[in-house]
Amino acid sequence: MQGKSLYTILLSIIAVMALALAVMIVFLFTAFRSTPADPSQETKPPLKERAVPIDEQVEFTLYSTGEIFSIKSTEEHPNSFIKTSVSIIYDGGKKNRKLEERKELIEKNVTKLKNATVKYFMSQGLEDLQKGNQTIELSEAALKNAYNEIVSVESEDMIIIDVIIMEWIVQEL
């Protein structure tokens, strides 16, 4: 009788341990998935940036004539706008070998680039755009980052080298 009860106890301990192991495995596979459920949560590797010689830099004019953008409305300045011209300097590749491919990439995404410009200026108020001498440089840097996010979807290189804002007229109606 003694042997049967010991045998039953050992079998029940093994069954409980097997059940605990199964629960732990299910927990590990559901809690620590290698691929996130939301693709927007994926971390992208940093873009590769290289020193680009002048002869390998190409200019693409996004807005040639002074384009007028509405800016964020505030109580003090409800009807404000900015008139500006925006050009993009991009990398043509080593010895301009990727010039046509990158030109097509930018032309294909020109609508997204223009939308990013509009969104940027609509998020800025009159006070933000008249802060001082560094406002244009800050805007160029913000637009450069936004543009590189758009074109880096199809490339791991930092294609956009610089953004140049030629005209900067901020007005209130």
Is pLDDT at 11 greater than 70 in this prediction? Answer: yes
pTM of whole model > 0.85? no
Could you tell me if 35 and 60 lie in one domain? no
> What's the residue count for the chain?
173
Could you tell me if 70 and 103 lie in one domain? yes
What pLDDT, on the 0 to 100 scale, is given for residue 4? 77
Could you tell me if 79 and 125 lie in one domain? yes
Could you tell me if 64 and 36 lie in one domain? no
Could you tell me if 90 and 22 lie in one domain? no
State how far the Cα of 157 lies from the Cα of 25, in Å rounded to an integer: 40
Q: Mean pLDDT, to the nearest integer, of 81-87?
A: 89
Could you tell me if 13 and 59 lie in one domain? no
Could you tell me if 13 and 66 lie in one domain? no
* Segment (H or E) for 121: helix 110-122
3-state secondary structure of 126: helix
**Token output for 130:** 């008249």
State how far the Cα of 151 lies from the Cα of 78, in Å rounded to an integer: 34
Number of domains in the chain: 2
37: containing domain? 1-41
What pLDDT, on the 0 to 100 scale, is given for residue 87? 92
Query: CATH no. for residue 147?
Result: 3.30.479.30
Provide the percentage of residues in the chain whose pLDDT is more than 90. Answer: 15
Determine, yes or no, domain membership for 46: no
What pLDDT, on the 0 to 100 scale, is given for residue 33? 64
Name which of 22-26, 36-40, 135-139, 142-146 the model is least confident about.
36-40
